């Protein structure tokens, strides 16, 4: 049985905000030594004041910076969570730089961090990889073609990685999140747009995701919750409309 108290080190990307911050705090509270990655200097400094949290400034767009991530060989739990939402416009109106950046951060960086951490897990025959996917990777939404593609790719990658890892005792879980109240849309929408989005229904809170992640982590070692979908009770997906407000 996997006991959270026995697992030692967690690496969380996107730890400076929203879901990643809540997950980092929850893991630290359970006694994990949490390596918390992000770029925001102020948020990193604040994380550094929290017991068991060890912030590191890393721009995931910089592949070389990742090599400096400490203890990557001895990570017990990896939460590939960092992500960005590009401007909510039609694909034909997107800047190429936004397309490239979205794929880089939401997909390539997650694969890169996983590649860094996985050999240690395989060697120790233990570990848990989490990937923050999205309902946007499971169903189409207008103005989200690239974001959705990045999340669909993460979903496919996580599922296929499980096949590769069969027999290794390393578990893989995709977190399929619906609307969560975070700063994700800060660049994609203006203030009025964000207010409209969050007033549509009660959003999931980052702490709800952290709680679920801990539950999954505490399952017996022979049980892998391969994916969980976590949405506002009032949200359904697949009926069209902006970002799930359907
Ligand atoms: N909120 C939702 O409704 C929702 C729904 C489904 C899935 N998700 C997914 O949940 C994950 C977390 O997002 P969130 O909602 O918690 O949003 P958030 O509050 O905006 O957090 C995003 C995190 O990603 C980090 N990040 C972005 N670009 C980075 C870069 N180049 N290098 C290093 N770190 C970078 C940010 O760190 P810095 O600011 O320090 O750079 C921040 O900590 C994302 O993968 C997102 O796609 C969110």
The three state secondary structure string of 212-245 is HHHHHHCCCCCCCCCEEEECCCCCCCCCCCHHHC
Average pLDDT along the chain: 92
Residue nearest atom 46 in ligand 1 by C-alpha distance: 83
User: Which tokens in the block code for residue 51?
Assistant: 């017991």
188 or 50: which carries more pLDDT confidence? 50
Cβ of 144 closer than 6 Å to ligand 1, yes or no, is no
Angle between helices 145-164 and 96-103 in degrees, nearest 10: 20
Query: Is 147 part of the annotated catalytic residue set?
Result: yes
In a domain, 2, yes or no: no
Closest atom of ligand 1 to 184 CA is 20
Q: What is the DSSP code string of 71-90?
A: TGGG-SEEEE-------SS-
56 CA → ligand 1 middle, Å: 16
Cβ atoms of residues 18 and 183 within 8 Å: yes
Would you state the pLDDT for residue 158? 98
Cβ of 20 closer than 6 Å to ligand 1, yes or no, is yes
Residue 130 has pLDDT above 70, yes or no: yes
In a domain, 150, yes or no: yes
Q: How many domains does the chain have?
A: 1
Phi, psi of 94 (to 5 degrees): -75, 145
Residue nearest atom 42 in ligand 1 by C-alpha distance: 14
148 CA → ligand 1 middle, Å: 15
In a domain, 223, yes or no: yes
- Domain membership of residue 162 as a residue range: 9-244
In a domain, 159, yes or no: yes
183 CA → ligand 1 middle, Å: 8
115 or 245: which carries more pLDDT confidence? 115
Would you state the pLDDT for residue 238? 67
CB-neighbour burial class of residue 115 (10 A; exposed 0-12, middle 13-18, buried 19+) = exposed
13 CA → ligand 1 middle, Å: 8
Would you state the pLDDT for residue 192? 86
Residue 10 has pLDDT above 60, yes or no: yes
Cβ of 61 closer than 6 Å to ligand 1, yes or no, is yes
For the chain, the residue count is 246
Residue nearest atom 17 in ligand 1 by C-alpha distance: 184
pLDDT digits (tens, 9 = 90+) for 176-219: 999 999 988 887 888 888 888 888 889 999 999 999 999 999 99
Q: Which residues does residue 170 pair with via DSSP β-bridges, in sequence order?
A: 127
Annotated catalytic residue, options 32, 147, 185, 198: 147
Q: What is the DSSP code string of 173-219?
A: EEEEE--B-SSTTTTTS-HHHHHHHHHSSPPBPHHHHHHHHHHHHTS
d(CA 81, CA 130): 8
Give 2's pLDDT tier (boundaries 50, 70, 90): very low
Would you state the pLDDT for residue 6? 52
Cβ of 134 closer than 6 Å to ligand 1, yes or no, is yes
Q: Which residues does residue 78 pair with via DSSP β-bridges, in sequence order?
A: 11, 129
Closest atom of ligand 1 to 82 CA is 24
d(CA 221, CA 150): 29
Looking at residue 161, which CATH number applies to its domain? 3.40.50.720
d(CA 15, CA 163): 28
User: Which of 61, 56, 162, 72 shows the shortest CA–CA distance to 116?
Assistant: 72
Would you state the pLDDT for residue 68? 77
Give 128's pLDDT tier (boundaries 50, 70, 90): very high
User: Which tokens in the block code for residue 115?
Assistant: 């590649």
Percent of the chain, pLDDT > 70?
93
In a domain, 181, yes or no: yes
Cβ of 142 closer than 6 Å to ligand 1, yes or no, is no
Cβ of 127 closer than 6 Å to ligand 1, yes or no, is no
Residue nearest atom 47 in ligand 1 by C-alpha distance: 83
Percent of the chain, pLDDT > 90?
80
In a domain, 4, yes or no: no
pLDDT digits (tens, 9 = 90+) for 92-123: 999 999 999 999 999 999 999 999 999 999 99
Cβ of 120 closer than 6 Å to ligand 1, yes or no, is no
Give 3's pLDDT tier (boundaries 50, 70, 90): very low
Residue 64 has pLDDT above 90, yes or no: no
In a domain, 62, yes or no: yes
Task: Taking residues 149-160, report their average pLDDT.
Answer: 98
In a domain, 166, yes or no: yes
Would you state the pLDDT for residue 5? 44
């Amino acid at each position: 049985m996997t006991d959270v108290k026995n697992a030692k080190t967690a690496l969380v990307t996107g730890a400076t905000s929203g879901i990643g911050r809540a997950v980092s705090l929850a893991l630290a509270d359970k006694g994990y030594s949490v390596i918390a990655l992000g770029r925001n200097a102020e948020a990193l400094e604040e994380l550094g004041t929290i017991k068991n949290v060890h912030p590191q400034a890393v721009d995931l767009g910089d592949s070389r910076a990742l090599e400096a991530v400490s203890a990557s060989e001895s990570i017990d739990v990896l939460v590939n969570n960092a992500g960005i939402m590009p401007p909510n416009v039609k694909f034909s109106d997107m800047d190429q730089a936004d397309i490239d950046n979205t794929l880089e951060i939401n997909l390539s960086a997650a694969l890169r961090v996983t590649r860094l951490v996985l050999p240690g897990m395989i060697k120790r025959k233990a570990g848990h990889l989490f990937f923050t996917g999205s309902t946007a990777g499971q169903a189409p939404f207008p103005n989200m073609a690239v974001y959705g593609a990045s999340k669909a790719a993460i979903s496919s990658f996580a599922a296929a990685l499980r096949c590769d890892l069969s027999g290794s005792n390393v578990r893989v879980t995709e977190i399929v999140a619906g609307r969560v109240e975070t700063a994700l849309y800060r660049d994609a929408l203006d203030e009025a747009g964000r207010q409209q989005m969050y007033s549509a229904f009660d959003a999931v809170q980052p702490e709800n995701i952290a709680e679920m992640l801990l539950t999954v982590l505490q399952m017996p070692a022979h049980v892998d919750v391969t994916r969980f979908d976590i949405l506002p009770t009032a949200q359904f997906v697949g009926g069209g409309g902006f970002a799930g407000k359907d």
